[in-house]
Amino acid sequence: MTLKDIQQLIYKDEHRQLELKKTTGELKDGMHTACAFLNTDGGWLIIGIAPTSLKILGQEVTDNTQREIAQYLTAIEPAVNVKVEYIDIPERPGNQVIAI
């Protein structure tokens, strides 16, 4: 997934297959939505987007951030294979959007 893909996905705002979160501070709530996606037609949880303005902010992604996401994903039963992508934001060096 590229930044352009993200821009195209969020163009029409959140919908049945798209959930936007500003930061991983909202990860628990976002993972509930990700589980719903897994039990229906699929979808994207994208972290680093301001849901009200659709502004691409990204966030600093540390090893701890990646570990936390992995812990939530491994807690899903039955086990699933979910791809997590980290997309750099050129306008905001050091920040990334997380696409699950």
Q: What is the pLDDT of residue 40?
A: 92
Residue 15 has pLDDT above 90, yes or no: no
The model's pLDDT over 24-73, given as tens digits with 9 standing for 90+, comes to: 999 999 999 999 999 999 999 999 999 999 999 999 999 999 999 999 99
Burial 41-76 (b: 16+ CB within 10 A, else e): eebbbbbbbeeeeeebbbbebeeebeeebeebbeee
Share of the chain residues as helix, strand and coil, in percent rounded to the nearest 5: 35, 20, 45
Global confidence as pTM: 0.92
Range(s) of the domain holding residue 85: 3-99
Count of domains for the chain: 1
